[in-house]
Structure 1
Amino acid sequence: MSVLGIDIGNDNSVVATINKGAINVVRNDISERLTPTLVGFTEKERLIGDSALSKLKSNYKNTCRNIKNLIGKIGTDVKDDIEIHEAYGDLIPCEYNYLGYEVEYKNEKVVFSAVRVLSALLSHLIKMAEKYIGKECKEIVLSYPPTFTNCQKECLLAATKIINANVLRIISDNTAVALDYGMYRMKEFKEDNGSLLVFVNIGYANTCVCVARFFSNKCEILCDIADSNLGGRNLDNELIKYITNIFVNNYKMNPLYKNNTPELCPMGTGRLNKFLVTSTASDQQNGINNKVRIKLQEVAIKTKKVLSANNEASIHVECLYEDLDCQGSINRETFEELCSNFFLTKLKHLLDTALCISKKPLSKTLIADESIARGCVLSAAMVSKHYKVKEYECVEKVTHPINVEWHNINDASKSNVEKLYTRDSLKKKPIMKIHQIYHPIV
């Protein structure tokens, strides 16, 4: 039996396994290491991953995206939540008042909770891994963003219970990255005070920063923070609005919204509103044109990649709206200025501070897309009884306050002492140092 480490991103998902002592990243049906985190529904079938991506332009209303960020979100007081604006279809409250996706499946309107959609995605990823490895894979380790609450973690575990997967543990994204880094560099760390490192992980929809101290036999997570509203999609949105404004200036119509009013998109926010600023949410005629949006997203991603290595990028979109093309260009200075209000200023300050303190150049040795999945599978191998892996302990900090009450603390001889272990641990090893609790009261 093989173990799996699964990193479910908002844009792509990665699955890693261990075979003959080496970590391998699972390739999907089209031999790609990244699988789109998309679940689509049609009249006859359910589409997941690349099959959902191939039908996205014609089936966007019934395609679920940004699944991880929607897990455990309550359906009340989220009118201005960024996930509402990022969704292609409608998000409405479903079971237990959690937000869910309203889709048309087998000619019927159905509402699926994010937990159920995630379970379908996980089932697909596990079957994909079993096909790639040729073995049964039931033991998995999942990662979650540091911003996840206990409720969101429970929702994550609920998705695995639907498909009867054996989750050995769930770990933070930053902990997985630290484990992937430290496992192969044990001999490089100082024994006395340890080696202090800072990890910056900018994903599609989340940005995580972690400060960790590494020793030869363990690492300690000293600081673990994240922003669930900051990521690569904010940069994409700015480019989408920039290209749209070029079209508005040339043709006096806004193709991004259904009423085509000649109104420029507000820049510098990193968000793409589902309705124009002058519109009301009840006016569906002023809503966003998702077909145009998807086309602009593809161009924005390509432009962003070009600007990462070049000072200027040309923009050309064929038949953006009613056989009208859009042409233009953007340089890196303009792009950085567009993103300075919400992104680049914070990032530049963070990197400058880190470089000033460490006095060392930035290290880019970790594979950004795969590091979390690699850390998860290492954690799985340490816990699983089917593997023998050299132990490397990761001590995490509690991210949320915990209150514990008890009676007769001074009379320990008459009290029951409990040792806290991981719930699904097969090797019966504690998560951290053993705590003694006397007559706990919740």
Structure 2
Amino acid sequence: MATTPVIGIDFGNESCFIGVARAGGIEVIINDYSQRDTPSFVALTSKNRMMGTSAKNQIITNISNTVFAFKRLLGLRFDDPLVAEEQKHLPQTLVATPEGEVGFRVWYLGEEAVLGVRQIVAMLLTKVKDIAEAALECKVFECVLAVPYFFTDAQRRALLDAAAIADIQVLRLLNEPSAAAVAYGLYRTSTDLPNAEQPPRHVAFVDFGSSALQVAISAFHKGKVKMLACTFDSSLGGRSFDIAIAHQLAQGFNKPGSDVTKNKRSWIRLLAEVDKLKRQMSANISALPVNVECLIDERDFAAKMKRSEMEELCAPLLERVERTLRRCLAESGLKQEDISEIELIGGSTRIPAVKTLIEQVFGKPPSTTLNQDECVARGAAIMAAMLSPSFKVREFSLTDLQPYAISLSWGGEDVEHGEMEVFPKFHSVPFSKILTFFRKGPFVLTARYADPDVGQIHKSDTISQFHIQGVKPGAQGEAQKVKVKVRLNLHGVFQVVSATMMEKQGSSQSTSEVTSETANAETESMETETSTENQESSSDTTKMDTTEGESQEGDKTAAAATQSNHPKQIVKAVDLHVDSKTSSFTQQQIQELTEREAGFRSVDNQERDRIDSKNALEEFVLNIRGRVNDSDDLEAYIEPNVRDELVQMADSTENWLYDEGEDCKKNEYVEKLQHLQNLAAPAQQRKRDHESTPRAAESFAASLNRFKKAHMAYHAGDAAYDHWTPEEAKKLEVALAEKMSWLDANMSRVRSTLKTKDLPIKAAAFLSEQQAFESSMNPVLNKPKPQPPTPPAEAAQPGKPEDAANATPAAGEKMDTE
């Protein structure tokens, strides 16, 4: 049974890379344009959608309906300050969706539409899935998606929703530097990485892409990696350098009433050329030109810039890079000499000034072990293989981290409000904890980020609310013990997994049932509840288990022995309903968007079929017109009047295609193509027959000659055929004469037939006769010679030593064996 492939997707702000895990290893998939990266662009037109390379190629002609750089807007509220900042760099108009999130106002299928960012991301993921399925020639159901460290809970949930709309299951949302760490560590040999009892190998990963900078430091041991710290600047990327350079160059070109920065098309074209300039400056220190024809108002743009000028212009940006690097080193608690290696990720790390800063901060030059563009996709594909039951991968564990501190506040009717930090900054992921509350009635838990001023949080500091239902006071009105299990799951998403009320039922003299509550952290760690229950408490209190990964079995056994002679309190665990209010879409919303996406795909398929039919007609018209006038092709096989009719019809069809036939339905193209094919088909068939029939006759003649030579050898007394009987030889002679006469007669008919006429006999008849002849005569030709008689065995002579040596032992005698 073939292994179902799983893919890893590096979902970038500018482009995506697709890694695939197959039986042969990890590969990066090439898209339908033979490119290893697929641009993160989605274009809407009056007829269909375009995603990826095709969308990016037509941005200048369809700029208002081509959506890009939408990754940063995923999961944000429309009133978030980051949205207003991002709008400055986008030519499209951003609007609020009914859910209060960011949407793009576009013109699609002849009407105005507002598409939310989740829908746009789902469209891109659909394209990525189609590319993978086309390359692998099978269905793809599972993937691992790489995301930035700074993605919040809301953004991660939004991405999971988008994947669900695209009908692909996400095995894990994997942080991008962590994916690179997996790609780095899995292929390291035992000599490259230290054993568990040795000090770890510390590696820094600097991910500097199109729109963000991330720095992470990790500790490697043989077979595992733990992420220690991460820092980021979510608004600093390669495009920041492009914008700074473009503004500088535009200052000397702008005129009153002719400002490049205010014209959408001109600004996009200038940014594209500046990006090329920036890449060239990485390898050149001399002044390099930037030229754009007819940039604005039919004026050509021309300018030059040196690398030193660029570095001086972008000095504030480089300072931000340095601060981020130094902050990560400081928060990891390590020194320069503790870092063994620095790995680079992302295209912007190729800027020489950035490389110099990395060397200054970490005290050593960066390494080039990993492919800067593809390592994240490869790491995601490796993680997908680890999580999929279809693959057996070398054992390698990843302990990731949560970059934000998460606090939990509580309140409710007659409940004193409180708050506590549940998961501190850089806490391990995935991880679970059990919190203990004493409550008389339902209460509300609110999870939020403890520091709303970092990363992309701002107004999105609230993660979710959880209403714990079904809590009631005890028999005497006292508060009941409620255990709430919270978790940071594989995706880095905060959850309340369960809530259980420990309801007291009365006392019993029987042996006590000792219960324990543990929380498995999906890594090797475990949480065990160690807080002491205050059974006499009449007020609501809250406790959190603080001991992690330690067994309390000894204490519990001793407690049981001490209390074995006393009445025991019977406690019944009652599961409580948890009503979660998160940023995720409801199942109904996802279902509606999935059906809408299916409708979009249907429209795309219909338009693709229509265009394919039109292209097939155009190709046939151009092809057949040349063939019927080519003396080496169809000209000799088509009647003059049919040729004239076909050429005239081809000319009129071509004119129709470029005029009123430019935008017709599929069936019109199919009908015209069928009519042309019907006119050309007889000539095409005659050409095939006149070419294939002589070849079939030659094959038959060669077969007859082979049998004729064998017959002549028989009459010449050849020892190879002296075992034939006279009847068999006569049978072969008669068959040869009959078939050679048939062959000569029919070849004369073929040679006398004009090329513009159908042959009276086709190649199939010659092949059929050959097969029948060979089937009948092969038993004669291939008749095996009889075996020579076996000579009689010589009688054994008594008295010879060989007799004793070769004699079989008599019954009962022993035979020595060595």
**Shared fold (TM-score greater than 0.5)?**
yes
2:133 is the alignment partner of 1:103: no
Residue 526 of structure 2 corresponds to 434
Query: d(CA) in 1 for partners of 2:104 and 2:523?
Result: 36
The amino acid across from 2:225 in the alignment is: C
Q: Does 1:316 align with 2:291?
A: yes
> In structure 2, the residue corresponding to 1:53 is in which secondary structure?
helix
Distance 1:161 1:416 in 2: 34
Pick one of 133, 139, 161 that aligns with 2:142.
139
Larger mean Cα displacement after TM superposition, 346-355 or 295-304: 346-355
2: CA distance, partners of 1:47 / 1:13? 15
Is 2:550 the counterpart of 1:417? Answer: no
Contact 1:95–1:113 (8 Å) recurs in 2:
no
1:128 and 2:131 equivalent? yes
Q: Residue 308 of structure 2 is aligned with which of 333, 338, 360?
A: 333
Q: Among 264, 268, 271, which residue is 1:297 paired with?
A: 271
Contact 2:42 2:66 survives alignment (8 Å): yes
Report the Cα distance in structure 2 between the residues aligned to 1:132 and 1:55, rounded to whole angstroms.
24
User: Which structure shows the higher helix fraction?
Assistant: 2
Q: Determine the structure 1 residue equivalent to 2:649.
A: none
Q: How does 1:32-431 map to 2 (within 5 A)?
A: 32-78=35-81, 81-187=84-190, 188-191=192-195, 192-248=198-254, 251=255, 254-257=258-261, 288-311=262-285, 312-341=287-316, 343-348=317-322, 350=325, 355=359, 359-402=363-406, 403=422, 405-407=435-437, 413-419=514-520, 430-431=522-523
Q: What do residues 185-226 of structure 1 show as CA deviations (whole Å, max 9, x unaligned)?
A: 142022211111111111000111010111111111001222
Deviation at 1:413, TM superposition (A): 3.9
Task: Tell me the alpha carbon deviations over residues 108-128 of structure 1, each in whole angstroms, 9 at most, x when there is no partner.
Answer: 111111111101110110111
Alpha-carbon displacement from aligned partner over 1:122-144 (angstroms, at most 9, x marks no partner): 01101110100112211100011
Unaligned runs of 5+ in 1: 258-287, 421-429
Q: Distance in 2 between matches of 1:376 and 1:417?
A: 31
Q: 8 Å contact 1:186–1:215 — kept in the other structure?
A: no
Residues in 1 aligned to 2:250 and 2:514: alpha-carbon distance in whole angstroms: 73
The structure with the larger Rg is 2
TM-fit CA distance, 1:81: 3.4
- SS for the counterpart of 1:175 is helix
The question of whether the paired residues in 2 share the 8 Å contact of 1:236 and 1:301 is answered with yes
CA distance in 2, matches of 1:88, 1:334: 28
TM-score, normalised relative to structure 1: 0.85
C-alpha distance 67-252 of structure 1, shift in aligned 2 (>3 A)? closer
Residue pairs, 1:21-40, within 5 angstroms: 21-40=24-43
C-alpha distance in structure 1 between counterparts of 2:247 and 2:357, whole Å:
31
CA distance in 1, matches of 2:401, 2:74: 23
The alignment partner of 1:368 has SS state of: coil
* Contact persistence 2:260–2:296 (CA under 8 A): no
Conserved 8 A contact 2:39-2:56: yes
Q: Secondary structure at the match of 2:81?
A: coil
Aligned mates of 2:89, 2:27 — CA distance in 1: 33
Listed one character per residue, the Cα deviations across residues 22-55 of structure 1 (whole Å, up to 9, x for unaligned) are 2110101110001100011000101100111111
Q: CA, structure 1 residues 235+395, in 2 after alignment: closer, same or farther (shift >3 Å)?
A: same
The TM-score, its normalising length taken from structure 2, stands at 0.47
Distance 1:124 1:347 in 2: 34
Asked if the contact 2:206/2:214 (under 8 Å) is kept, the reply is: yes
CA–CA separation in structure 1 for the residues paired with 2:158 and 2:134: 27
- The separation in 1 between residues aligned to 2:276 and 2:360, in whole angstroms, is 33
Deviation at 1:354, TM superposition (A): 5.7
Could you say what secondary structure the match of 2:106 adopts?
A: strand
1:432 positional shift: 5.3
Q: CA deviation at 1:90?
A: 0.6
- Partner amino acid, structure 2, of 1:390: R
Maintained 8 Å contact 2:73/2:83: no
Q: Deviations over 1:139-180 (max 9, x none)?
A: 100011111111111101001111221211111111101111
Could you say if the C-alpha distance between residues 385 and 437 of structure 1 is closer, same or farther in structure 2, counting changes exceeding 3 Å? farther
RMSD: 2.5
Q: Kindly, what percent of the aligned residue pairs are identical? A: 29
What is the CA–CA distance in structure 1 between the aligned matches of 2:80 and 2:361, rounded to whole Å? 41
C-alpha distance 7-325 of structure 1, shift in aligned 2 (>3 A) = same
Q: Cα distance, 1:319 vs. partner?
A: 1.0
Ranges in structure 2 where 5+ consecutive residues have no aligned partner? 326-354, 407-421, 423-433, 438-480, 484-501, 503-512, 531-542, 545-575, 579-818
Instruction: Provide the secondary structure at the position in 2 that maps to 1:369.
Output: coil
Q: One-letter code of the match for 2:398?
A: C
Q: For 1:80 and 1:159, how far apart are their aligned partners in 2?
A: 19
Aligned-partner Cα distance in 2 for 1:41–1:290: 17
Partners in 2 of 1:323 and 1:235 — Cα distance?
A: 27
With over 3 angstroms needed to count, the CA separation of the structure-2 counterparts of 1:47 and 1:352, relative to structure 1, is: closer
Which amino acid counterpart does residue 185 of structure 1 have in structure 2? R
CA 1:179–1:437: 2 relative to 1, 3 Å: farther
Give 1:95 deviation, angstroms: 3.4
